[in-house]
Amino acid sequence: MSQSKICVPVTTRGNYGKFKSVMQAIVEHPGLELQLLVGGGALLHKYGDFVEDGELGGFEVESSLYFLLEGENPITMAKSTGIALTEFTTAFNSLKPDVVLTIADRFEELAIATAASFQNIPLAHLEGGEVSGSVDESIRHAITKMSHLHFPASEKAAERIQKLGEPADSVYPVGATSLDVINNLDMDDMESVESELRDKGVGGSVNLHQDYLLVIQHPVTTEYEKNREYIDETIQAIDDLEMPTVWLWPNMDAGSDAVSKGIRVYREHSNQEHIRWYTSLPIEKYGKVLYNSACIVGNSSSGIRESSYLGVPAVNIGNRQQGRHRGSNVVDVPHNCQEIKAAISQQLDHGRYPPDDVYGDGNSGDQVAEILSDYEFSIQKQLTF
């Protein structure tokens, strides 16, 4: 029997963390063959240098695709999607995969979904069916409507995908694949993390043995004009608290430039001995930093998903994650310095929460591979109602 070729496009360090256990399971499955593509932010130094000599974490890279137009605004986001569509079409036509994987709701994922479905290649979607703010909300459900097989991260999300008219037998709630990696970490061993965090990044020096904060604030594309104002509120709050802080740079969505500028201006004009900035962290390190933090602050989905699994107190700011299912560990606040500070204090007082398994139990990758090896795809989609 010939192996089924599964094409996995990795475009950010974040989705590498989510695809890692899936890729491992594909490689180990006798009926499957991995075709790894790397593109966009995953190729750029400024988003963290992690592709080396045609390899990504030990997996061989078939092809590298450049599609990010510099500018980080709505125009370049739209045009980058157009370029990505051209680039992935070329790559899929050359590799002839049996299935293409797509994930969540970034703009390039819409390009990947379109390139595959226009070439009649079956499309499997991870992390569909969730609800959030930003243009991500539109992208995520549009991808669902182009996908043939669904791997949502929660039962609730699986339910929504079926309500969207997808056949029940195409929806497999496997949990969040990012938890697979986190699940296998020895959380008590912080030594290697500490030394790496000391050597990398810019800013002050952070003592991970004290209570520390983890901050990640991405732009909100649908409130594009306000992103500078939003980051300034958060900066003010963190500056006032004067706690050790690990701060991750924003992603490359429209508005990223405004968020970065807020941070750069702050860095140039203040003394921040207690804060250190990183473009990004590998999932193995990120998981440990998150697990051991006193509180995660910002609007990253990991402040909802991974933090609930780990029981880490979270302060979620603004609308970017609105509607996404959250555990009891999350306190929501608007973009307001005082409210952000108050919520962080409240979470520090509360301390760690019990773990929540709404996003699965950390064994998703094997399930995805197993289902992929068996699934009978039908290329013609049809609403169930």
Closer to a second copy by CB, 170 or 293: give it.
170
Of the candidates 31, 50, 69, 155, which one interacts with a second copy according to CB under 8 A? 69
Of the candidates 52, 53, 70, 189, which one interacts with a second copy according to CB under 8 A? 70
Within residues 280-339, the interface with a second copy by CB under 8 A covers 319, 322-323
Of the candidates 54, 55, 96, 163, which one interacts with a second copy according to CB under 8 A? 163
Stretch that binds a second copy, among 21-29, 85-93, 288-296, 327-335 (CB under 8 A): 85-93
Closer to a second copy by CB, 222 or 236: give it.
222
Rg (CA), the chain: 20
With beta carbons less than 8 A apart as the criterion, state whether 380 and 158 touch.
no
Closer to a second copy by CB, 74 or 204: give it.
74
Determine the Cα–Cα distance for residues 373 and 366; give it in Å rounded to an integer.
Answer: 11
CB of 48 to a second copy, least distance (A): 13
CB of 204 to a second copy, least distance (A): 14
With beta carbons less than 8 A apart as the criterion, state whether 91 and 64 touch.
no
Beta bridge partners of 151: 126
Determine the Cα–Cα distance for residues 108 and 172; give it in Å rounded to an integer.
Answer: 23
Give the closest residue to 189 by CA, choosing from 264, 291, 111, 101.
291
Within residues 218-257, the interface with a second copy by CB under 8 A covers 221-222, 224, 254, 257
With beta carbons less than 8 A apart as the criterion, state whether 207 and 294 touch.
no
Of the candidates 54, 60, 138, 357, which one interacts with a second copy according to CB under 8 A? 138
Closer to a second copy by CB, 42 or 296: give it.
42
List strand residue ranges (DSSP E) for 204-335, in order: 213-216, 245-248, 275-278, 295-298, 314-317, 330-333
Between the CA of residue 155 and those of 152, 173, 358, what are the distances in Å? Answer: 8, 6, 8
CA angle 335, 336, 337 (to 5 degrees): 125
CB of 30 to a second copy, least distance (A): 29
Which of the 8 DSSP states describes residue 212? -
Q: How many residues bind a second copy (CB under 8 A)?
A: 71
Within residues 262-281, the interface with a second copy by CB under 8 A covers 268
Determine the Cα–Cα distance for residues 100 and 113; give it in Å rounded to an integer.
Answer: 8
CB of 341 to a second copy, least distance (A): 26
Closer to a second copy by CB, 68 or 213: give it.
68
Residues 24-43, mask of contacts with a second copy (x by CB under 8 A): -------------------x
Stretch that binds a second copy, among 138-146, 179-187, 227-235, 242-250 (CB under 8 A): 138-146
Of the candidates 37, 42, 61, 83, which one interacts with a second copy according to CB under 8 A? 83
Greatest Cα pair distance, the chain, in angstroms, is 64
Amino acid at 318: G
Which tokens sit at 260?
Answer: 């970065």
Within residues 170-199, the interface with a second copy by CB under 8 A covers none
Within residues 200-219, the interface with a second copy by CB under 8 A covers 202
Within residues 89-128, the interface with a second copy by CB under 8 A covers 89-90, 93-94, 107, 110-111, 114-115, 117-120
Of the candidates 5, 145, 226, 228, which one interacts with a second copy according to CB under 8 A? 145
CB within 8 Å of 205: residues ≥ 6 apart:
198, 273, 276
